[in-house]
Amino acid sequence: MRFGPILVSLGLSCGVTVALAGCDGCTPPAGANDGVGDGDAEGEGEGEGEGEGQVIPGLLSLQIVPADVSLTTDGTTRPEQAFTVTAVLGGGSEDATERVAFSLSDNTIGTMRGNTFVSSAIGGAVDVIARAGDVEARARVTVRVRTVLVGDGNGSASAGDIAPDAADLFDDATIPVDAGRAPDLVYPNDGVLLPRNLGVIEVQWRRGGAANTLFAVTFSSPVMEARVITRCVDLNGGCVYTPSLSTWRLLADTHAGADAVTVTVQGTDDTGTAIGRSNSLTMSFSATDVRGGLYYWTTSQGTGIMRVDFGAVEQVPEKFFPFTGNECYGCHALSPDGRKMSLSRRGIGNGQLGLINIVDGQETLGFTDTQREQFQSWNGTSTLFAGIFGDTNDLAVRHQLRIHDGDNGSVVERIDLDHEPDHPDWSPVEDRLNYTKVTHHSSSQRPGRGGINSMVKRDGAWTAPQELVPPETGKNRYSPSTAPAGEYLAYVESRCNAPGQEYSGECDGDADQSARLFAFAHRTSTSVELARANAPGRTDGGGNLSNTFPKWAPFEGPRLRDGSGRVNWMTFSSRRNYGLRTGNADNGNQLLWMVAVDPDGVIAGSDGSFPAFALPFQDISTSNHMAQWTREFVAIGCTELGTDCDPADDNACCGAAVCRDDGTGVGTCEADDGSGGDVCAAIGESCVRLPCCDALLCLTVNDQQVCGQIGG
């Protein structure tokens, strides 16, 4: 299904547009909402978005009453407000409430039931729009959350031990403030931007003295004042509060793509002798969900590759490979469509190549000595992957990039170089191969004095390598990873402090302590440190955190609720402390961290990163590395596109495909958008199952992943 590109904003600003057939300009279709909300999930929107209302002869203007409304919810109640509309005519005025069409600028905040606004039981501000023909009037509704939760989340076991009026202590102006009792709030990191579907975040603090036995964790913003009363749930001598899923949703849905939330903790005793107030931090939530499958290497459970569905309501990792045994398979790569995995076995000096069909859970290429590749990277269409092997004295092999068939692993192309490549990185939107240029040889896993090179395939041939970030004595630059739109890449830089400033264990590219994240923008040919992503937390002390192996989530979404701005998501490995869950910076566990990045900031030459957060679902008693993303989480045993399926089985087809009955009781798996077996998705079509055609990008719009264009 391929259409000519005609742009429509779908409620987004004109800076982030998705092209669809049959529309033009940067204006939403008639009756569409202005925001990026979820729509009327409960079917209460009678009259909502139903055209333009009636044409009223002689209409000069509309007046809507009340014009400004404030409502309050505790997070469960759904306050309502009715509106009346008056039509101002040349000869007077008349009631037009029944003649106008009502809609909302953001359907996440509430719905319209006729002329009545019904809150969604979250906080936020929204315009109620009354329209007749091309004339409209707007009223503002602000819904604020005011709630007290006793023993919420992981503190629920202590709820029965807390007096019903305990919250009043923290509002009692007669109780003195004692700075010596102030808790020290240490996690999450101040200014963090979280995926709204992350589902959980820990709030960690030092208790501020043994006399503090009762705590109030407060989340505040212009539209929320939520207070959790809890005991200290011990965490290494400090305290931790983990919100319940319902509280998380209240926080995330209220603030998705909107105001930041300020978090503070107060501590006192049960009689309110004195109160200590912590430092504050802020956290924000993404406008849309982050989706995709995430595969990572862990040293727990006998070692293995774990995987998790990031779009699931509750993300629970499962062991994927090896199917039996516990050999080392850490250097793995995934096809973007989530169907295939390439990986090497047994690490340095070995690197036997294997290939797995994830759909049926079978090895399509065994691990033998005939093919060896230590690192691999797949192209955007999931048909080919590039590999390198530097653990050899054979320069013909060591100085070569090999392109493999994605179905059987055979070599289909060899790219000969005059230097050693490492860490291949295939751009998701074009035939561009980036890689580490190694100038000090040791092994693929431990390259030295690296730089970042790039090649582009034009007219069937690869261009000569272009040096993006040069090698430099005293530094090692390695592990490039291209962001979803292909405009820039992240890479790692570590420093050599040993004599000679060329190579040692501290700068060998293998979880170096001094490793830090940088970004390179192709348009401006400039590098910038992702300083906020690199920054230590309050319990880290020094700055050597071993931030390494960046990998990008495959979708790009709007930064704000109104559709403006852009945001990318990157995972990386780090030895930093997970708040009070301290490790050892010299020889501690590496955990998976995630960070939001503003691509426009990077392209403009500034630090576009936000502070990082630890992925909460991982096993923190071990080390986790090499997170790899796919566009979807593919169930083993599902039926692929174009093959027979049972229409009665809702989960018969893989991913976003659906089983369409041909009228005989036997169905065929087809793409949900009706594109069938097309090899790519056109403008406005889903890009979860299929890659985008041509130069289109996979964007998150109205919580859907569709192919579109940035700008217009």
Give the pLDDT band of residue 322 (cuts 50, 70, 90).
confident
- Same domain, yes or no, for 520 and 381? yes
Cα–Cα distance between 265 and 276 in angstroms, integer? 8
Cis omega before residue 322 (within 30°)?
yes
Burial of 133 (0-12, 13-18, 19+ CB in 10 A): middle
Q: Given a cut of 70, is residue 416 above it in pLDDT?
A: yes
| Same domain? 54 vs 155 | no
Distance CA 495, CA 508 (A): 9
The pLDDT of residue 38 is above 60: no
**Res 192: pLDDT:** 98
Assess if residue 177 is contained within a domain: yes
pLDDT at residue 695 in the model: 66
The closest of 334, 345, 433, 339 to 386, measured between CA atoms, is: 433
Return the amino acid letter for 194. Answer: L
The residue segments making up the domain with residue 79 are 37-144
* In a domain? residue 712: no
First to last CA, the chain: 22
User: Quick one: average pLDDT of 492-517?
Assistant: 91
Taken as a whole, the chain contains a residue count of 712
Give mean pLDDT, residues 14-28.
30
Q: 514, 487, 518, 485: which is closest to 498 by C-alpha?
A: 514
Q: What's the number of domains the chain is made of?
A: 3
Residue 615 has pLDDT above 60, yes or no: yes
Q: 200 and 137 share a domain?
A: no
CATH code where residue 169 lies: 2.60.40.10
Whether 505 is covered by a domain: the verdict is yes
The least confident of 210-214, 485-489, 495-499 is 495-499
Residue that terminates a domain, selected from 615, 630, 645? 630
Q: According to the model, what pLDDT value does residue 673 have?
A: 59
Q: Taking 80 as the threshold, does the pLDDT of residue 13 lie above it?
A: no
Phi, psi angle pair for 164, to nearest 5°: -60, -30
* pLDDT value of position 184: 98
Within-domain flag for 653: no
Q: How confident is the model at residue 321 (pLDDT cuts 50, 70, 90)?
A: confident
- Asked if 450 and 587 sit in the same domain, the reply is yes
- 8 Å CB contact between 189 and 614: no
Shared domain for 240 and 301, answered yes or no, is: no
Contact 453, 471 (CB under 8 A): no
Q: Does position 17 have pLDDT exceeding 50, yes or no? A: no
Mean pLDDT of 557-567: 94
Percent of the chain with pLDDT over 70: 89
Are 256 and 202 in the same domain?
Answer: yes
Q: What is the spatial distance between Cα 447 and Cα 449, in angstroms, rounded to a whole number?
A: 7
Residue 703 lies in a domain: no
State the Cα–Cα distance between residues 61 and 542, nearest whole angstrom. Answer: 63
Closest by CA position to 613, among listed 203, 110, 209: 203
The answer to whether residue 2 is domain-embedded is no
CA nearest to 571, candidates 627, 621, 489:
627
Q: Are residues 594 and 453 in the same domain?
A: yes
Cα separation of 609 and 565, whole Å? 14
Greater confidence, 149 or 706?
Answer: 149
1 within 8 A of 682, measured Cβ to Cβ: yes
Per-residue pLDDT at 51 exceeds 90: no
Q: Are 281 and 602 in contact (CB under 8 A)?
A: no
> Do both 268 and 366 map to the same domain?
no
pLDDT at 130: 98
Residue 701 lies in a domain: no
Residues 526 and 605 in one domain: yes
Final residue before a domain boundary, out of 250, 285, 320: 285
Return d(Cα 3, Cα 177) in angstroms, integer: 66
Q: Are residue 454 and residue 583 in the same domain, yes or no?
A: yes
Is 527 a member of any domain?
yes
Backbone phi and psi for residue 253, each to the nearest 5 degrees, phi listed first: -70, -35
Domain at 305, CATH number = 2.120.10.30
Bigger pLDDT: 329 or 267? 267
Contacts of the segment 23-29: beta carbons below 8 A, 24+ positions apart = 26/712
Residue 460 shares a structural domain with residue 564: yes
- Average the pLDDT over 381-394 and give the result: 96
Higher pLDDT, 67 or 635: 67
Main-chain dihedrals φ then ψ at residue 348, nearest 5 degrees: -55, 130
| Confidence at residue 9, expressed as pLDDT on a 0 to 100 scale | 29
Return the pLDDT at 659: 86
From the centroid of its chain, how far is CA 128?
31
Q: Is the pLDDT of residue 705 over 90?
A: no
**Contact indicator for 376, 386 with CB cutoff of 8 Å:** yes
User: Do both 138 and 236 map to the same domain?
Assistant: no
Q: How confident is the model at residue 274, as a pLDDT?
A: 97
Domain boundary among 144, 172, 198: 144
Compute the distance between CA of residue 655 and CA of residue 633 in angstroms, rounded to an integer: 7
| CA atoms of 78 and 575, how far apart (whole Å) | 45
- 3-class SS shares of the chain: helix, strand, coil, % to 5: 5, 40, 50
pLDDT score for 278? 98
The residue with tokens 């690869």 is 462
Give the mean pLDDT of 12-35.
Answer: 31
Integer Cα distance of 157 and 155 in angstroms: 5
Q: What is the pLDDT of residues 236-263, one digit of tens each?
A: 999 999 999 999 999 999 999 999 999 9
DSSP 3-state assignment of 671? Answer: strand
pTM of the model: 0.87
Percentage of the residues of the chain whose pLDDT score is greater than 90: 70
Q: Tell whether the model's pLDDT for residue 41 goes beyond 60.
A: no
Please say if the pLDDT value at position 337 is more than 70: yes
Cα separations in angstroms, 61 against 57, 84, 136, 185:
11, 14, 7, 53
Interstrand relation of 135-150 and 68-73 (parallel, antiparallel or unpaired): parallel
Region of poorest pLDDT, from 47-51, 272-276, 609-613:
47-51
Helix (H) or strand (E) holding 253: helix 245-255
Residue 440 has pLDDT above 90, yes or no: yes
| CATH number for the domain that contains residue 96 | 2.60.40.1080
The DSSP code for 346 is S
Query: CA 673 to CA 681: how far, in whole Å?
Result: 9
Residues 6+ apart with CB under 8 A from 653: 638, 639, 640, 641, 645, 659, 669
Average pLDDT, rounded, for the chain: 87
Give the span between the Cα atoms of 449 and 474, in whole angstroms.
8
pLDDT at 437 over 50: yes
Residues 510 and 588: their CA atoms lie apart, in Å, by 14
Q: Say which range, 109-118, 310-319, 344-353, 672-681, has the weakest mean pLDDT.
A: 672-681
